[in-house]
Structure 1
Amino acid sequence: MTPQRQLVLDAVVELGHATPEAVCTRVQETAPAVNITTVYRTLDLLEQLGVVKHTHLGHGAPTYATSEHEHVHLVCHHCGAVDEIDVDALEALAESLRASHGFRLDATHVALSGTCRACADRADAELAKDA
């Protein structure tokens, strides 16, 4: 593990869900010479080694977290909030996919998009006000 790779891993651990750009910004606080290309290559290597995983939480860059950071992400279309639920919440779906298609779901790589409670409550209040 080179010092640069350790800095990238440390940044992922500290930031939780982190885009490569956020990781790069954090690393550059300590090592200004580290560039975004180095960060991307290091994240790829760390993922190949099983140390980190990436998830696409939306249309932007993937986010990275340590591999033991296993959960399903709930992403709000409206405000962008990200919540987490245990992977066991998708166990029935995983079993159904396995039985019907032989497909083995990696629920730790899943982001479900929809509307968070706060945004849904606001929308309901607007509807009630207009009625």
Structure 2
Amino acid sequence: MSDSSLAEMLRSRGLRLTAQRQLILEAVLDLKHATPEQVHNAVREVAAGVNITTIYRTLELLERLGLVTHTHLSHGSPTYHAAGPDQHVHLVCRNCGAVEEIEPELLGPLADQLVDQRGFLVDIGHVSLFGVCGKCGEQK
């Protein structure tokens, strides 16, 4: 997203584009999958005065604007990543912590079955599957 389109989106909601908001969005986009603490560390490298409260509030704002979304990849803080039309499922290795993305179509049959049997609509963007990645599995 360009600076001008982000600025326009914020202005349309009565908000302004601040350097902190820009840095936080850039950190999420650069890191791909990041906790608020990881975003904070990345932003502090450029702007030491940004506190963790600002990170959390800005991530919430960016999520309300539809620019980022979050998922839970562990028992800790949520993990943020860029939002977009291309939703994906997260594969999380319990051994090494690696996170991979797979196409949501792989869960299509399960999602269809849940709708048919229970009327439940799966939010694919928040799905995380935990297990052991191929690399760690080979080591055992």
Matched, 1:121 2:138: yes
Between the aligned residues of both structures, percent identity stands at 54
Partner of 1:88: 105
Task: Give the gaps of 5 or more residues in structure 2.
Answer: 1-16
Quote how far apart the aligned CAs of 1:58 are: 1.3
Task: Give the gaps of 5 or more residues in structure 1.
Answer: 124-131
Structure 1 or 2, whichever has the larger Rg, is: 1
Q: How far apart in 1 are the matches of 2:100 and 2:32?
A: 13
SS of residue paired to 2:92: strand
1:36 aligned residue (52, 56, 63): 52
Q: How far apart in 1 are the matches of 2:37 and 2:123?
A: 25
Q: Which amino acid aligns with 1:50?
A: G
Partner of 1:70: 87
Quote how far apart the aligned CAs of 1:81 are: 1.8
Q: Which amino acid aligns with 1:20?
A: P
Quote how far apart the aligned CAs of 1:122 are: 2.5
Partner of 2:29: 13
User: TM-score, normalising length from structure 2?
Assistant: 0.82
1:14-67: per-residue Cα shift (whole Å, max 9, x none)?
111011111111111222111000000000111111110011111222111110
Q: Which amino acid aligns with 1:101?
A: R
Indicate the larger mover: 63-72 or 50-59.
Answer: 63-72
How large is the Cα RMSD of the aligned pairs? 1.3
Partner of 2:11: none
Q: How far apart in 1 are the matches of 2:81 and 2:138?
A: 30
Q: How far apart in 2 are the matches of 1:75 and 1:20?
A: 18
Indicate the larger mover: 72-81 or 114-123.
Answer: 114-123
1:105 aligned residue (107, 114, 122): 122
Figure out how many residues of one structure are paired with residues of the other and give that number.
123
Off by >3 Å, runs of 4+ in structure 1 = none
